[in-house]
C-alpha cells in the first residue's frame, strides 16, 4: 500500500465576494483546470452525493472554485475532522516558542497520573511523541467508531484499555491529540478552542471557522452530510472527536489557514521546520502535517479530515504559495485512487 493510500485509511479517524466599481469591467474567472474536470469523478466513482474544491495561487493565479453534484456550495460550513490536528499542533508549537512547554516534556509532567494502564505510562511519553503519533497509544475511535460523544478523560481511558503499539513506531491515534488539547488547557488555563481562536482564527480572520464544543448543528450556510449508506448525519455531536477532530470550517478558510501556516505567518522558521520534520515518524508525519511526494517530484503538505458525514483534504506547496482544499459531503471516497490523481493533476506541471 502506498504512503498516501495508507494515510487516507486512518480514522478520525470555506467565500469572499470581490466588489468592483460599476464603471470597471468585471474580472474574468480563472479558466477551468483539469482538476475541475476530475471533480465529478468523486461523485460518479467516489460515491459522494456532492463534491467541491477551492484552489488558490498567490503568484497571479487567483482563486478557482468548482463543484459537482447537488446541494453543495462554495460558502458552506462543514465538519473538518482531523484537520483540527493542524490547528492543535500549531498552538502547541507556539506555546513551545514562548517557553511555556517543551516538546521533550513528558505527558506526566502536565497530566500527572492520567496515562497509566495496560502497559501505557505517561512518564515515558513526550509531547513530541503525541504530536508525531509515535506514542503507541491506542486510538479510542477504534472502539467508538467516531460516533460516541465523550469527555477527553473518557476518551483517554478507553484508549488505556489497550496495550501500546511498539515504542517509537508511527501509529496514527486520535488519542494523542485529545491529550494535547488537555495539555494546552493545563498550560494556559484556557481551552484548546479558546487558544486556537485567539492565536489563529482571529488573527487570520477565519470567519467561517469554529470549535463547536457540544453544538450539534452547523452554522449557516451549510448543506447536508451523509453516511456512506445515505443516512443524513448533518446533526452530530462534535465531542465524538474533540481536540482530534472537532473543527468546523469552510473551503476559503482552510485555504487561508494552510497558506498562512506554511508561509510562516503563524510560526517562526525554526518552529515551522520542527513542524515539518518527519524524522521522528520515519518520514510519514510531521506535527499536525504530513507530506505527499507526487509523481512529478513535487511535495505537498497538509492534512485530511474525516468525520461521520464529511471528508476534506487540504494540500499546499512549500511556502504556501499554492493551496487546494476539496471536500465531499460523505464519510468516505469509495475509490482511493481519486484523491492522489486529483492532487497530482492540481500540483504537477502541465505540458501542452
Structure confidence at residue 139 as a pLDDT band (50, 70, 90) = very high
263-316 pLDDT, tens per residue? 999 999 999 999 999 999 999 999 999 999 999 999 999 999 999 999 999 999
Could you tell me which residues come within 8 angstroms of residue 31 by beta carbon, excluding any fewer than 6 positions away? none
φ, ψ (nearest 5 deg) of residue 315: -140, 145
- Residue 46 covered by a domain: yes
- Residue 335 covered by a domain: yes
Q: Are strands 78-79 and 299-307 parallel, antiparallel or unpaired?
A: unpaired
- Residue 267 covered by a domain: yes
Give CA torsion, residues 317, 319, 321, 325, to 10 deg.
50
Structure confidence at residue 350 as a pLDDT band (50, 70, 90) = confident
Identify whether the C-beta of residue 73 lies closer than 8 Å to the C-beta of residue 303.
Answer: no
DSSP tag of 329:
S
- Residue 86 covered by a domain: yes
> Cα–Cα distance between 220 and 14 in angstroms, integer?
12
Cell of 270: 525554526
% the chain with pLDDT above 90: 86
> Cα–Cα distance between 53 and 210 in angstroms, integer?
20
Residue 80: per-residue pLDDT: 98
Name the more confident of 25 and 31.
31
233-267 pLDDT, tens per residue? 999 999 999 999 999 999 999 999 999 999 999 99
Residue 28 pLDDT more than 60?
no
Radius of gyration over alpha carbons of the chain, in Å? 20
Strands of 85-125, DSSP E:
116-117, 120-121
Long-range CB contact pairs, 299-302, < 8 A, 24+ = 300/343, 300/347, 301/258, 301/262, 301/276, 302/86, 302/258
DSSP letters along 274-285, please?
HHT--TTTTTS-
Residue 27: per-residue pLDDT: 39
Cell of 223: 448543506
Which residue reads 469591467 in cell numbers?
A: 25
Map residue 298 onto helix, strand or coil. Answer: coil
Q: What is the mean pLDDT of residues 204-229?
A: 98
Domain containing 284 equals 36-347
Residue 30: per-residue pLDDT: 56
Structure confidence at residue 5 as a pLDDT band (50, 70, 90) = very low
Structure confidence at residue 207 as a pLDDT band (50, 70, 90) = very high
DSSP tag of 116:
E
**Residues known to be catalytic:** 82
Evaluate if pTM is beyond 0.75: yes
Number of compact structural domains in the chain: 1
- Residue 12 covered by a domain: no
Residue 351: per-residue pLDDT: 57
- Residue 22 covered by a domain: no
CATH number at 102 reads 3.40.710.10
Name the more confident of 22 and 345.
345
> Cα–Cα distance between 70 and 223 in angstroms, integer?
9
- Residue 31 covered by a domain: no
Candidate from 58-62, 98-102, 275-279, 343-347 with smallest mean pLDDT: 58-62
Q: Which of 289, 259, 332, 225 is nearest to 84 (CA)?
A: 289
Residue 343 pLDDT more than 90?
yes
Which residue reads 499546499 in cell numbers?
A: 316
- Neighbouring CB atoms inside 10 A of 340's CB total 17
Long-range CB contact pairs, 276-280, < 8 A, 24+ = 276/301, 280/128, 280/129, 280/132, 280/134
Identify whether the C-beta of residue 78 lies closer than 8 Å to the C-beta of residue 99.
Answer: no
- Residue 5 covered by a domain: no
> Cα–Cα distance between 221 and 139 in angstroms, integer?
32
Residue 24 pLDDT more than 50?
no
Residue 12: per-residue pLDDT: 38
Cell of 126: 513526550
Structure confidence at residue 52 as a pLDDT band (50, 70, 90) = very high
DSSP letters along 185-228, please?
HHHHSS-HHHHHIIIIITTTT-TT-B--TT--SPPSS----B-T
Amino acid at each position: 500500500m502506498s504512503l498516501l493510500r495508507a494515510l487516507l485509511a486512518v480514522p478520525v479517524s470555506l467565500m469572499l465576494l470581490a466588489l468592483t466599481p460599476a464603471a470597471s469591467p468585471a474580472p474574468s474567472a480563472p479558466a477551468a483546470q483539469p482538476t475541475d474536470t476530475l471533480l465529478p469523478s468523486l461523485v460518479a466513482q467516489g460515491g459522494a452525493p456532492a463534491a467541491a474544491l477551492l484552489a488558490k495561487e498567490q503568484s497571479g493565479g487567483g482563486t478557482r472554485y468548482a463543484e459537482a453534484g447537488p446541494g453543495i456550495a462554495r460558502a458552506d460550513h462543514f465538519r473538518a475532522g482531523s484537520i483540527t490536528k493542524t490547528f492543535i499542533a500549531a498552538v502547541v508549537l507556539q506555546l513551545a516558542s514562548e517557553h511555556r512547554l517543551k516538546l521533550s516534556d513528558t505527558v506526566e509532567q502536565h497530566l500527572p497520573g492520567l496515562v497509566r494502564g495496560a502497559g501505557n505510562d505517561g512518564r515515558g511519553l513526550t509531547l513530541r511523541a503525541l504530536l508525531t503519533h509515535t506514542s503507541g497509544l491506542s486510538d479510542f475511535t477504534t472502539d467508538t467508531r467516531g460516533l460516541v460523544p465523550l469527555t477527553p478523560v473518557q476518551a483517554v481511558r478507553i484508549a488505556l484499555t489497550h496495550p501500546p503499539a511498539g515504542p517509537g513506531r508511527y501509529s496514527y491515534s486520535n488519542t494523542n491529540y485529545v491529550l494535547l488539547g488537555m495539555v494546552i488547557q493545563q498550560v494556559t488555563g484556557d481551552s484548546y478552542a479558546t487558544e486556537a481562536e485567539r492565536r489563529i482564527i482571529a488573527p487570520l480572520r477565519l470567519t467561517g471557522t469554529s470549535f463547536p464544543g457540544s453544538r450539534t448543528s452547523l452554522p449557516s450556510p451549510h448543506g447536508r452530510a451523509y453516511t456512506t449508506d445515505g443516512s443524513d448525519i448533518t446533526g452530530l455531536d462534535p465531542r465524538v472527536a474533540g481536540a482530534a477532530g472537532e473543527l468546523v470550517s469552510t473551503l476559503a478558510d482552510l485555504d487561508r489557514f494552510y497558506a498562512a501556516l506554511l508561509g510562516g505567518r503563524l510560526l517562526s522558521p525554526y518552529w515551522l521546520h520542527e513542524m515539518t520534520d518527519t524524522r521522528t515518524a520515519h518520514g510519514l508525519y510531521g506535527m499536525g502535517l504530513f507530506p505527499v511526494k507526487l509523481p512529478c517530484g513535487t511535495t505537498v503538505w497538509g492534512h485530511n479530515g474525516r468525520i461521520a458525514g464529511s471528508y476534506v483534504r487540504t494540500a499546499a506547496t512549500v511556502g504556501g504559495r499554492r493551496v487546494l482544499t476539496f471536500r465531499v459531503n460523505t464519510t468516505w471516497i469509495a475509490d482511493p485512487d481519486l484523491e492522489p490523481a486529483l492532487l497530482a493533476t492540481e500540483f504537477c506541471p502541465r505540458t501542452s
